[in-house]
Structure 1
Amino acid sequence: MSLKTHARIAFAAIAALAFAGSAVAQDCAPSKWGADDEIGSANLVTPEQVLMASKLVKKGMSAPLGITISRDTPAFAPRSLSMQVVQPGQTGGTDPLGYGGGGVYNDDIIQMWFGIGSQIDGLGHLGDDGRYYNCNDAKEISQIGGLTRLGVHNVPPLVGRGVVIDMAKHFGKEFLEAGHVINAEDVKAAMEAQSIEVKKGDVVLFHTGWTDAKLESAPSEWGAGEPGIMPDVAEMLAEADVMAVGADTWGVDVVPPPAGAKVFYSHVVLLRDNGIYILETMNTGPLVEAGVTEFMFVLGQARVKGSVQMVINPVALW
C-alpha cells in the first residue's frame, strides 16, 4: 500500500471521527432546566410538591427504604466495603478524652465504594457517546478526585410523592426471576389493576420480590442477574416527568437483557437524556406487605463533593 493511500485512509478516519464528534454535539440538547443545570429532576422539588406529599402521611407510619450493608453484601464488581472499629489513644491506660476520667470511645474507619446496597445514581454516573446529562463531556467532568460537575453533593433533599408498583403481584408470582422483562405495557396494566396513577414529580418504585427472595438466601445469584425494566418504561416515566425511578433490585434494568437489547440502557434514558435519578436496592417489601401504594418520600443523602453515587436510606411515610 502506498504512502498516499495510507494518507487518504488516515484523512478519512480523522474526518469520520470529527464528523461523529460533531454529530454527538449536535444531537445533545441542553436540559429543559437550562444549559448550566446540574440537578435535573430535583428541580421538581417545590414547596407545593412537599406540602402535597406531606398530606399522604395519615397513619403516622414509616419504613426505611434502605437495606443494611456490610462487607458481605454482594456488589457490582469490583465494588467492595471494608470497615474497622478502632479505639484511638486508648493503650497503656491512657486518658483518651483528656478529662481525667475513665472514659472510652470507639471510632470507625471505612473504605468503600458508594455504589453498594441501597444507593442513588447521580447524573454523572452513566452516559453514552462520551456525554452525560446536559451535554457534559466525559473527558471534562470525570476526574480522579471527583466529578467537576453533576456531583451528588449538588442534589437537594428529594421530597415528594412516592408510589410502589407491585410487579410480582401483577405476574402472579412471589418474585420475578433474573432476566424477567418488564416493559411499558406491563407497567401500564399493573398500574391500572392496582389503581395507581403516576404524577409529575413522583418517585416511582417497582417491587419485584427479587431482593427479599435472594439477597440473604442466595447472594451470588442475587448479584448475577435481576428482573428489570426495559427502556420503553424509562421513556414512559420520563414523559410523565417523574423525579426518580427505583426498584428492589441492584440495577433496575433487566439483567441479562433480551437478545439484541443494550445493557443498562434505561440508565441512559433516565440519567443522561432526562436527568431523572435512579434508586437501586430499595426495600419495598414492607410497603407491599402493608398494602401501601403511595407515600411521602424523603431523602437527604450524604454530601461528599464530586461523588458519583451515594449509599442511601430514604424514608417512606404514610
Structure 2
Amino acid sequence: MGEALDWGYPATYNDDVIQLWLGIGSQIDGLSHFGLDGHHYNRNDAREFASITGATAMSVHNIPPLVGRGVLFDMVSFFGGDPLEAGRGISAQDIKDAEQKSGVKIGKGDVVLFHTGWVDSKMTSDPVAFMAGEPGITNDAAEYLARQDVMAVGSDTCGVGVSPAVAGDKLHYEHVILPKENGIYILEGMNTGPLAAEDVVEFMFVLGQPRVEGTVQMIINPVALW
C-alpha cells in the first residue's frame, strides 16, 4: 500500500482501466491486420513484426489522420430490399453502374463506403445473423476499387466483403486485395444509415483514430461533413 495523497483539499476523482477487443463496432483495419501466407503489405513478414506486446511495424497508431472526399453508394436503393440479404455480392459492374446512377466517379484518395442496411437492421436486433453472413463487395469489386487508388473502403457490415462468398470468389479476399496488396485501409461497421437517409453521396470524411501503440485494428468514430 502506498501513502495517501495529500492534496490539501478533499478531492475525489475517477479513472478508467479497459481490457477489450479492438476489432468491434466501427473500426479500421490497419495494414498489419490481414496478410497472405505470413506476409503483409510491402512484404512485411508477420514473424518479424507480430508480437504479444503489439505490432512492431504498420501499427494503427502510425496511420496519419484520414481526411478526404467520402463517397457513399446506397446499395439498398440501388438493388432494392432493406437490408440486402446475406450473400448478396456487389460486383465491379454494380459499382460502375452505381457511379453512373449517382453521377459521382470514384477518384484517387477517396474513402468509398457502401450502405447495405446491415447495421441498422441486424446489429442490435439479431447479432447472430449480423455475424453469420453479410452482403458486400466481391473480389472483382475490390480489384476495381484498388485500381482507382482509393484511400479506404468501408461498409455497414462487419467484414466489407460478401459472405458467404459468391461462386468463384475467395471468402473475404478483399482483405488481401485492399490492405495487403495495395495499402488501402478497410473500414468496418460504419454507420452509413444517416447518410443514406438524407441521400448524401459526397461528403468530407474525417478520421483521427486513437493512437494506441502496437494495434492492428482500432475502434473509431469518423465524422462525415456535408
- Alpha-carbon distance in 1 for matches of 2:6, 2:92: 59
Q: Establish whether residue 147 from structure 1 lines up as the match of residue 52 from structure 2.
A: no
Residue 177 of structure 1 aligns to a residue in which SS? coil
- Report deviation, 1:229: 0.6
Match of 1:191? 99
Residue 76 of structure 2 aligns to a residue in which SS? helix
What value does the CA root-mean-square deviation take over the aligned residues? 1.6
Residue 107 of structure 1 aligns to a residue in which SS? coil
Match of 1:217? 125
Q: Establish whether residue 208 from structure 1 lines up as the match of residue 116 from structure 2.
A: yes
Residue 111 of structure 1 aligns to a residue in which SS? coil
- Alpha-carbon distance in 2 for matches of 1:226, 1:316: 24
TM normalised by structure 1 equals 0.68
Q: Establish whether residue 98 from structure 1 lines up as the match of residue 7 from structure 2.
A: yes
Match of 1:164? 72
Match of 1:111? 19
Residue 205 of structure 1 aligns to a residue in which SS? strand
- Report deviation, 1:97: 7.6
Query: Closer, same or farther in 2 for the Cα pair 1:218/1:97, shift >3 Å?
Result: farther
Gaps of 5+ in 1: 1-88, 90-94
**Equivalent residue for 2:143, pick from 226, 231, 235:** 235
Q: Establish whether residue 127 from structure 1 lines up as the match of residue 35 from structure 2.
A: yes
- Report deviation, 1:246: 0.2
> CA contact under 8 A between 2:70 and 2:110: conserved in structure 1?
yes
- Report deviation, 1:258: 2.5
Query: Closer, same or farther in 2 for the Cα pair 1:97/1:301, shift >3 Å?
Result: farther
Gaps of 5+ in 2: none
1:1-318 matched pairs, under 5 angstroms: 98-101=7-10, 103-318=11-226
- Alpha-carbon distance in 2 for matches of 1:203, 1:140: 30
Residue 140 of structure 1 aligns to a residue in which SS? helix
Higher relative contact order (CA 8 A, sep 6+): 2
- Alpha-carbon distance in 2 for matches of 1:265, 1:200: 22
Residue 85 of structure 2 aligns to a residue in which SS? coil
> CA contact under 8 A between 1:97 and 1:104: conserved in structure 2?
no
Aligned amino acid, residue 16 of structure 2: D
- Alpha-carbon distance in 1 for matches of 2:83, 2:103: 21
Residue 139 of structure 1 aligns to a residue in which SS? helix
Residue 109 of structure 1 aligns to a residue in which SS? coil
> CA contact under 8 A between 1:141 and 1:149: conserved in structure 2?
yes
TM normalised by structure 2 equals 0.94
Structure number with bigger Rg: 1
Q: Deviations over 1:12-65 (max 9, x none)?
A: xxxxxxxxxxxxxxxxxxxxxxxxxxxxxxxxxxxxxxxxxxxxxxxxxxxxxx
- Alpha-carbon distance in 2 for matches of 1:227, 1:265: 14
